[in-house]
Amino acid sequence: MKKAIGLALAVLAMSVVATSAQGSNRITAASAAGVNCKSTITLPLVTPVTGGAGFLGAEQGSWAKYAVQTLAKPLGLKVKFVLGDTPVEQGPAPAQALAQKYVADKSVLVVLGPSTSGAVAASSSTYYAAKIAHISPSATRTSLTQGSPKEATPAFFRVVPGDYIQGPSDANYMQNVLHVKRVVLMDFQEPYSVGLSDAVEAVLKKGGVATTRLSAPNTTTDYSAYVTKVPSDADIVFFPTQKPGDAQTFAQQLIEQGKKAKVFGGDGSNDPSAFKQPGSYVSNFAPDITGIAADKALIAGWKKANPGKAVGSFGPPSYGAAQVALNAIALSCKAGHGTTTRQAVLQTIKKVKIKNWILGGSLRWSTKSNDPLNAKFYIFQIQANGSYKLVG
Amino acid sequence: MDTFLQLTVDALTLGSVYALIALGYTLVYGVLKLLNFAHGDVFMVGSFIGFGVLQLLGGTSKPVVPVWLLLVLMVLAAMVGCAVLGVVIERFAYRPLRDAPRIAPLISALGVSFFLANSMQLLFGATPRNYNIFDLANASLYTNGFNIGNVHVALLRIITVVSAFVLMVLLWLLVNRTRTGKAMRATSYDREAAAMMGIDIDKVIVFTFVLGSALAGAGGVLQSLRVPTTVAIGFVVGLKGFTAAVIGGIGSIPGAMAGGLILGFAESFSQGYISTKWSDLIVFSILIAFMIFRPQGLLGRADIRKV
Amino acid sequence: MTDSTPHGMHEGPAVGQDEWVARHAERRIMPSGPLGTIEDRIRRVPWWAWLILFLAAASTLPAFSSSGYVRYVAFSTVLYMLLALGLNVVVGWGGLLDLGFVAFYGIGAYAYAILDSDKFGIHLPTLVSLPLIVVVGAIVGFLLGLPSRRLTGDYLAIVTLFFLQLFQTITTNGDDAFGHNVTGGPNGILRIDPFHLGKHDLVVQHQGIFAVSYFYVALAFFAVVFVALRFVNQSRTGRAWRSQREDPLAAEAMGMPVNWLKLMSFSFGAAVAALTGTLFAAQAASVFPLTFYFVLLIIVYTMVILGGSGSQAGVVAGALIVSPLLELLRDPGKSRVIFFVGLVGGLLLMSRRSRALGMVAIATLAFGFAVHETLGAIDKSWIAGEHQGGFAGVTDHWVVAPAHLARWIAPTSYIGLIAVVLLVTLVRGRTRLVLLVPTLYLAAFVWENVMLAKPEPARYIVLGVILIALMILRPNGLLGERRVEIV
């Protein structure tokens, strides 16, 4: 009997907590319902905050937050910024749950992210059905917007070029500038690296370069056996890891075993504090923004709000994504005379043009897809003092 | 031939660390008949303790003590820290369950493992920690060493393997040449009889956990000298350590050492010669085959249960 | 059979019922008075009445909240209930520690994904694929159980754990199995068909919002599985399971086919998990390898252990508590509410046993305010932190919440809290009560400042603590029965 009472109490307490902590949830056809532009709009960023890719969420969160803090008021909007956590270890389930949550929340008009391509694939159809535009600052998988069938929906946008640009760009650099004869390509049995290595391999093969493909489980930390398999005449090991420390380890183990190959990392390895082996290469979708004159004030402001943190490379695109989102909301509010809907915002996204784009130049959308027009990847070489120098 | 030699070097390095972990499992299982799932996470905590000590002593760019002393201090600190952790875990999560059905401490161990991994993530975040030994003394730990033919054996690997072997020898001496070791062996044969002989079972079990966890901590530091560590490695490392213990024969100390080396070789060579993708599968198949056809492993005793 | 007919002249149990089992209820000590009568009446309510009541209550949930999110969480909870029922068969009834259970869940999901999607162009009718997958699940469960014939509890646990790892490896690398893309690899399988009956599709979303029809389908599955398993448990198979679980040696000596029983429990558990997998895959319209891994295993185990392994109602209750709890703990505001409600509720519940605990509660309150004011007087910034949601407005006056947390505070206070809590378990009597006061306050501090900052690992820490505490304090969970293992 006591057990039953205790049980009933527990369940009762839970439901009390749950209902008391919920807001009101009366939702009509949310996509068609008008939202008053003077009310507080919620802007979520769906990104890994905890887990192995938590550094992504930390960087992107700080930049997106800064964008909301500095851009919302001048546009006449009241915006609340929230973070939705999608730890990569849990697969797509958190992304789907969060999608449900934000679809149900009337004050959400646009979503930033999801940051990981897997999360996009899992939740894009939910957002599209609710007519919520989702702008990702880092989901670069090619099959999201290219090919057939596309894994993402027409409501998905990204402000950085996809892997279908990074792959050929890296491969062309290797062929044309580095004149490679033999390349080893690694992947880590997860979508990002597999897609990227596939893309690079295809271009290299067409160019007549000899390629070897190695595949390591995502949990690998000791790459000795893989280093052993690197042929002694290989020039480059393409290492698209999302853990820069692993790229560093690999480079060191190459030296230890006396192999001449250099490590070539993707945008996931871009971290001067963790990956700093001189002679290695890194490709990234943005030049180092500290070198762009137009961004100086912006960077100074961000640094003041985030003392002691490095600028990083994943953060600035989130600023850009937030900027696009806020501008789209403001534009559609103007067109709708004070009210707007999710549908309206979705249709306005592609009309947004940003002159002093944080990643350099200006932002224009491609007409064929929801990717930016003329985006390119930049290639850096790591110098003797560990700094990144733009070489391609 | 070069590949073969290189893979052998890799296998020895890997295998010695696996042997250290397997020893911890074997010791605890022998005395308590409990599979300590939290062991892998103790390993992980050891690697973080080593990292902390490294940072305290100036990091790899400006260490305040000579290199050899730095390494020794890191290993010692990890051993001591993990020994304390092991004792705490035993005292509060396993001792109350000593007379409970066998399932209970197993599930408690699962809970402890989960708790440890997530606590470390809560406190220290999920970013990998790299010791960056490469930066120490101008990469001399990597570039020094000796060459067999075309294969370079780095000083770092030699240190790893030698330290592991030294620890294992010390352990063997402790278990076979001291009174407490004898008490440990007696407890593992028959706990009740040992108690009746006047052996303090609680002390023996604590001693076992101290030894096992200290070895795990040392293993954690030794492994992290070469590869980055994260809070999530506990699970996989635990699995591998357990595989090694079973292959060698759980309950047998030389068995654990042998099992560790065998596992290192199996992993390294299957990655090198067969396929990197499916090497995990191959290793597991070996384990399953052992468990079905020879559950006592190579050097273990067949378990005879008295009715 | 609780009437007071004279001994030796009772009616006798119904034909086919075992007398000792039937008189089971008599051996309980009944409290007297009105509470006793209520308890007696409640005990007499048949199980199917409880089930119908529960289903009715659950069905009205969508009327209370039209939020797709709430309905989605409810749907997940029902999935968890199904999984808990399945695990209960293996662990609770068979007494086998199956650590690879979620692999069957994954097998069901992937099988449905392969049979009903664009992947290979197969689109089997739902009514065909569902039974097929249940059978496949049962067969795989049977195969996994085969090693159990020669292995004892701990070894079996490891073999099943390796099976889980195996499943993970195969699904992650299945995009290159001898040149064929079978499981989609890390990218998973997308665009899985929803359930359909003839031409009629059971749509998964309406404008992105979770379709409540899946919640009802899940409830229906749950009812069917619950009833089916109950009948299995009441049959001689169930009794055989109980005897084999309590004392395998004696059971074998009595002629029970112990091996066969173990295999049956594996099979049944796997079949239930596979069925749940199809439901999951149909609703999510996609499957990925990482979903079916260690974390999910621990969650389902916590539910089963919390509710009481061996009791169907228990594991359902466990799922009902743990699943929404996990979801609510994602949000710092709600987490705060849960913490304080739980703290106060826990103290109240336990104060029935000892008045002193009520005193502890009051003392902690006073202590807290004292510390808060003292620290505030020393340095305003130590209490200036502001939090949102939940009771933050109130608790910010009680808990010390610094505006900026120095880096050493989080690890020190967390480890300090663990140390103090362990210390409290070691002492007794008045020392314990006195020590409890600062412990509770420190716990509030750690919760507010350390754990709410990172809800994801904090949720799992709560689970881990629940598991450990349960095994030590109350291994039979809420509704289970205390087992004594005969060695």
H or E stretch including A378?
strand A378-382
Confirm or reject contact between A243 and chain B (CB < 8 A): yes
Given 3.90.1150.10, 3.40.1280.10, 2.30.290.10, 3.40.50.2300, which CATH number is that of A164-284+378-390?
3.40.50.2300
At what angle are helices C294-307 and C101-115 packed, to 10 degrees? 120
H or E stretch including A83?
strand A78-85
CA–CA separation, B80 vs B86, rounded Å? 10
At what angle are helices C355-378 and C429-446 packed, to 10 degrees? 50
Interchain proximity C147–B93, CB inside 8 Å: no
Interchain proximity A225–B232, CB inside 8 Å: no
Backbone angles phi, psi at A355, to 5 degrees: -75, -55
Higher pLDDT, C92 or A310: C92
Higher pLDDT, B304 or B5: B5
Q: Å from B192 to nearest chain C CA? A: 13
Residue B113: the pLDDT is 95
- Fold assignment, A35-162+293-351: Rossmann fold (3.40.50)
Whether the predicted pLDDT of A30 surpasses 50: no
Please give the angle made by the CA atoms of A17, B111 and B109, to the nearest 5 degrees.
165
Average pLDDT of C214-224?
93
- Contact list in C for residue A125 (CB cut-off 8 A) is 205, 285
Average pLDDT of A228-256?
88
Please give the angle made by the CA atoms of B21, B26 and B28, to the nearest 5 degrees.
100
Whether the predicted pLDDT of C455 surpasses 50: yes
- Chain B: touching chains (3 or more CB pairs < 8 Å): A, C
Average pLDDT of C177-183?
75
Distance from the Cα of residue C85 to its chain's centroid: 10
Question: Which chain B residue shows the shortest CA-CA distance from A230?
Answer: B3
Q: Which of A87, A191, A217 sits opposite C456 (nearest CB)?
A: A87
Number of Cβ within a 10 Å radius of residue C223: 16
For C209, the domain range is 49-328
Going by pLDDT thresholds of 50, 70 and 90, the confidence category of residue A5 is low
Whether the predicted pLDDT of C335 surpasses 70: yes
Q: What is the pLDDT of residues B81-130, one digit of tens each?
A: 999 999 999 999 999 998 888 888 999 999 999 999 999 988 988 778 88
Q: What is the pLDDT of residues B169-196, one digit of tens each?
A: 999 999 999 999 999 989 988 888 999 9
* Beta pairing partners, A379: A283
The arrangement of strands across the sheet holding A262-265 comes to: A210-215, A182-187, A236-239, A262-265, A281-284, A378-382, A388-390
* Beta pairing partners, C190: C286
Residue A121: the pLDDT is 85
Q: What is the pLDDT of residues C128-139, one digit of tens each?
A: 999 999 999 999
C434 assigned to some structural domain: yes
Interface test with A, best of C81, C205, C206 (most A CBs within 10 A): C205
Interchain proximity A214–B276, CB inside 8 Å: yes
Going by pLDDT thresholds of 50, 70 and 90, the confidence category of residue B41 is very high
Same domain, C29 and C112: no
Tell which of C298, C328, C358 closes a domain.
C328
Domain boundaries, chain A: 35-162+293-351, 164-284+378-390
Q: What is the pLDDT of residues A124-159, one digit of tens each?
A: 988 998 899 999 998 888 888 887 778 888 999 999
Same domain, C108 and C24: no
Least confidently predicted of A14-23, A234-243, A248-257, C185-194: A14-23
Please give the angle made by the CA atoms of C368, C369 and C372, to the nearest 5 degrees.
85
Burial level of C53, CB count in 10 A (0-12/13-18/19+)?
Answer: exposed
- Tell me whether the CATH fold assigned to A35-162+293-351 matches the one assigned to A164-284+378-390: yes
Number of Cβ within a 10 Å radius of residue A107: 15
DSSP at A25: -
| pTM score over 0.90 | no
- Contact list in A for residue B228 (CB cut-off 8 A) is 221, 243, 245-246, 248-249
Average pLDDT of A27-38?
64
Torsion of CA A225, A231, A237, A239, to 10 degrees: -20
CB contact at 8 A, C401 and C449: yes
Enter the tokens of residue C94. Answer: 């068979």
Residue B304: the pLDDT is 57
Q: Å from A274 to nearest chain B CA? A: 8
Gyration radius from chain A CA atoms: 23
Residue C134: the pLDDT is 96
Residue C13: the pLDDT is 62
Enter the tokens of residue A111. Answer: 């979503």
Distance from the Cα of residue C194 to its chain's centroid: 27
Going by pLDDT thresholds of 50, 70 and 90, the confidence category of residue A14 is low
Four-residue CA torsion sign, B105, B107, B113, B118: negative
Interchain proximity B106–C154, CB inside 8 Å: yes
CB contact at 8 A, C94 and C266: yes
Residue B30: the pLDDT is 86
Give percent above pLDDT 70 in chain A: 91
Going by pLDDT thresholds of 50, 70 and 90, the confidence category of residue A15 is low
H or E stretch including C36?
helix C33-44
Size of interface B-C (CB pairs under 8 A): 128
Residue type, B83: A
Q: Å from A31 to nearest chain B CA? A: 37
Residue C1: the pLDDT is 44
Backbone angles phi, psi at C138, to 5 degrees: -60, -40
Query: Exposure string (b/e) for C134-164, b if CB count within 10 Å is 16 or more?
Result: bebbbebbbebbebbeebebbbbbbbbbbbb
C482 assigned to some structural domain: no
> Could you give the C-alpha distances from B20 to B41, B241, B257, C161, C378, in angstroms and in order?
14, 8, 7, 21, 51
Number of Cβ within a 10 Å radius of residue A322: 30
Residue A27: the pLDDT is 39
Same domain, C158 and C301: yes
CA–CA separation, C17 vs C208, rounded Å? 53
Interchain proximity A129–C68, CB inside 8 Å: no
Average of per-residue pLDDT values in chain A: 83
Confirm or reject contact between C337 and chain A (CB < 8 A): yes
DSSP at A285: S
CB contact at 8 A, A142 and A151: no
Residue A34: the pLDDT is 80
CA–CA separation, C211 vs C328, rounded Å? 21
> Could you give the C-alpha distances from A74 to A294, A298, A336, B164, C250, in angstroms and in order?
19, 15, 19, 63, 80
Interchain proximity C467–B281, CB inside 8 Å: no
Least confidently predicted of A301-305, B253-257, C9-13: C9-13
CA–CA separation, B82 vs B77, rounded Å? 8
- Contact list in C for residue A97 (CB cut-off 8 A) is 69, 72-73, 76, 327
Going by pLDDT thresholds of 50, 70 and 90, the confidence category of residue A193 is confident
Burial level of A374, CB count in 10 A (0-12/13-18/19+)?
Answer: exposed
CB contact at 8 A, B259 and B246: yes
Helix (H, G, I), strand (E, B) or coil at B291: helix
- Contact list in C for residue A89 (CB cut-off 8 A) is 290, 293, 295
Residue C442: the pLDDT is 92
- What's the count of helices (H) and strands (E) in chain C, helices before strands? 20, 6
Residue B303: the pLDDT is 61
Residue A184: the pLDDT is 94
Plot region of B149 (φ>0 → left; ψ -120 to 50 → alpha; else → beta): left
Helix (H, G, I), strand (E, B) or coil at B244: helix
Give percent above pLDDT 70 in chain B: 98
Whether the predicted pLDDT of B40 surpasses 80: yes
Torsion of CA C267, C269, C271, C274, to 10 degrees: -130
Residue B35: the pLDDT is 87
CB contact at 8 A, B305 and B295: no
Q: What is the pLDDT of residues C426-438, one digit of tens each?
A: 988 888 888 988 9
Average of per-residue pLDDT values in chain B: 88
Confirm or reject contact between A314 and chain B (CB < 8 A): no
CA–CA separation, C160 vs B239, rounded Å? 12
Whether the predicted pLDDT of A287 surpasses 90: no
DSSP at B75: H
Going by pLDDT thresholds of 50, 70 and 90, the confidence category of residue A190 is confident
Same domain, C236 and C362: no
Going by pLDDT thresholds of 50, 70 and 90, the confidence category of residue C25 is low
Q: What is the pLDDT of residues C88-126, one digit of tens each?
A: 999 999 888 899 999 999 999 999 999 988 888 888 888
Residue A12: the pLDDT is 59
C339 assigned to some structural domain: yes
Give percent above pLDDT 90 in chain B: 48
Cβ neighbors of A217 (< 8 A, separation 6 or more) are A188, A189, B277, B280, C169, C172
Question: Which chain C residue shows the shortest CA-CA distance from A15?
Answer: C324
CA–CA separation, C433 vs C429, rounded Å? 7
For chain C, the domain total comes to 3
**Residues 123-152 (C) with a CB less than 8 A from some CB of B:** 147, 150-152
Question: Which chain A residue shows the shortest CA-CA distance from B267?
Answer: A225
Backbone angles phi, psi at B146, to 5 degrees: -130, 165
Higher pLDDT, C127 or C19: C127
Least confidently predicted of A338-347, B215-224, C143-152: C143-152
